[in-house]
Amino acid sequence: MTATSTTETTATTQGLQTGHIGLNVTDLDRSTRFYRDVFEFTPLDESREEGRRFAFLSDDSRDAS
């Protein structure tokens, strides 16, 4: 493994954006509230099917079209 300095890392990641991420959580309702309240994410959709619950949240910073 090669060590990378902070300067090199910053230089190579400029202009990159995260499209989406997935997080496994133990309490979906609590986690959704957290991201809504703290980061002002907007809930877009969710599934309440037992054993397959998930939520889609957005920060509305990019045009979805």
pLDDT value at position 34?
A: 96
* Between residues 5 and 20, the one the model is more confident about: 20
pLDDT value at position 30?
A: 95
Distance from C-alpha of 26 to C-alpha of 36, rounded to nearest angstrom = 17
Provide CB contacts within 8 A for 56, sequence distance 6+. 43, 44, 45, 46
pLDDT value at position 65?
A: 47
Alpha helices for the chain (secondary structure H)? 6-13, 28-39
pLDDT value at position 35?
A: 93
pLDDT value at position 16?
A: 76
pLDDT digits (tens, 9 = 90+) for 19-61: 788 889 999 999 999 999 999 999 999 998 888 899 999 987 6
Dig out the tokens for 44 from the structure.
Answer: 């877009």
